[in-house]
Amino acid sequence: MKIPYYIYLILIMFLISCSPDKKEATQNNSLNIINNKYAELFKIQEEEGIKFLTIFDKSGNKKEEYVLIPKAQKIPDSLKQNNIIRTPVEVVVCLSTTHIAFLDILEQTNKIKAVSGSQYIYNGSVREGIESNKIKDVGYENLLDFETLLSLKPDMVTVYDINGSISPTINKLKKFNIPVVQINEYLESSLLGQAEWIKFFAEFFNKRELAKTRFNKISKSYNQMKNLTDTIKNTPTVLVNMPWKGTWYIPGGKSNIAQLVKDAGGNYLWSETKEKHNIPLNIEDVYLKANRADVWLNTGQANSINNVIETDKRLNEFKAIQTNSVYNRNKRLNKSGGNDYMESGTVRPDLILKDLIKILHPELLPEHNLFYYTKLQ
């Protein structure tokens, strides 16, 4: 009896659907993907005890991949040409103060053996290490003290690379077979996305669960603060930053600071713009739009109202100056001007938001004392 063609085709399709590729199934079952809640620029995958960490640039293109293999585990032949880092790491060199904050929240500052720009570091335990000469200063970017750095035999050097400025240093470190890890947290589109890089750092120290616990606490705190402003009707207008050499760099409407002002219940005056980065404007344009702003935030190096006015006499006409509503993020400075806002603030966006809510809507947080911000006098 001849089987009709369509019956034969159905039979083949049925058999195929019931016989999955074993190799594919094994890969899917063994590959563990660690999902992010907010961060967009890194990915963590794990297979058979080996971790694959991928970072991306601001356009979402793959930038680097790091393969983390436990020290007791043999390196597979297929991975020997990759960027391999043995874990847990014990000797770390941080070329950015923000990276110190990530290690601090993971209780790993004792692994830091060298830093860049030691005078600007705020963290207490790291400062003690610097003062006792247990932590070295290896200088800046393309002027690094390679002799000192190499003598430390670091397991990992953390770097940030803005517009390729540190690329020559990265290449030189790689020539000496020093594991270099680029950190792109500053490119994230949200402050919680920046803070979630706690999870990225944690993988190098086998601290995944601690990172998860700490980040969940931070994100919960941030969202609780944000919820306080959901029903407010009054949204004070907000101006940000200071002019520098005749140009006022205003954060775009898609920037972190714009989102932060919105979450704090403020009306950011450039919220309609589409840029994530700063927009260069002349003082006249800012004056026309923002001279009646209710609150002025982040006045650069200015520590007083007089410092602000000295920059340009026209600034004295701004409403925020007249009503004494100017605030700067400079409460936590060390003697050399190192600013903890730029350090621990990276991993504590909830505290930053709390400060801004206190500034814009003090009635919502009557017991809170400003942590990072001060009112200029």
Question: Is 84's pLDDT higher than 80?
Answer: yes
Residues whose CB is less than 8 angstroms from the CB of residue 147 and which lie 6 or more positions away in sequence, other chains included: none
pLDDT score for 239:
98
pLDDT score for 18:
41
Chain-centroid distance of CA 311 in Å reads: 30
pLDDT score for 23:
34
Question: Is 142's pLDDT higher than 80?
Answer: no
pLDDT score for 165:
65
Tens digits of per-residue pLDDT, 261-312? 999 999 999 999 999 889 999 999 999 999 999 999 999 999 999 999 999 9
Spell out the long-range contacts of 65-73 with Cβ–Cβ below 8 A and sequence spacing 24 or more. 66/179, 66/181, 68/203, 68/204, 73/49
Paired with 157 in beta bridges are 93, 180
Tens digits of per-residue pLDDT, 214-241? 999 999 999 999 999 998 989 999 999 9
3-class secondary-structure state, position 197: helix
Phi first, then psi, for residue 177 (nearest 5°) are 60, 35
Question: Where do the DSSP E strands lie in the chain?
Answer: 31-34, 42-47, 50-56, 62-70, 84-87, 92-94, 112-115, 136-137, 156-159, 180-182, 237-240, 243-244, 247-251, 267-268, 278-282, 295-297, 326-328, 374-375
Helix (H) or strand (E) run with residue 148 in it? helix 146-152
The one-letter amino acid at 117: G
pLDDT confidence band for 80 (50 / 70 / 90): confident
| Cα-based distances in Å from 224 to 158, 258, 353, 370 | 32, 19, 10, 17
pTM comes to: 0.88
Both structure tokens of 33: 């993907």
pLDDT score for 11:
38
What is the rounded radius of gyration, in angstroms, for the C-alpha atoms of the chain?
Answer: 25
Cα angle, residue 278 at apex, residues 276 and 282 outer, rounded to 5°: 145
pLDDT confidence band for 140 (50 / 70 / 90): confident
Question: Is 199's pLDDT higher than 50?
Answer: yes
Share of the chain above pLDDT 70, in %: 91
What angle do helix axes 349-360 and 208-228 make, rounded to 10 degrees? 10
Helix (H) or strand (E) run with residue 7 in it? helix 5-17
pLDDT score for 247:
95
186-193: average pLDDT = 92
- Choice between 142 and 188, residue whose per-residue pLDDT is larger: 188
Question: Is 109's pLDDT higher than 50?
Answer: yes
pLDDT confidence band for 14 (50 / 70 / 90): very low
3-class secondary-structure state, position 180: strand
Tens digits of per-residue pLDDT, 15-63? 334 433 333 333 445 789 989 999 999 999 999 999 999 999 888 888 8
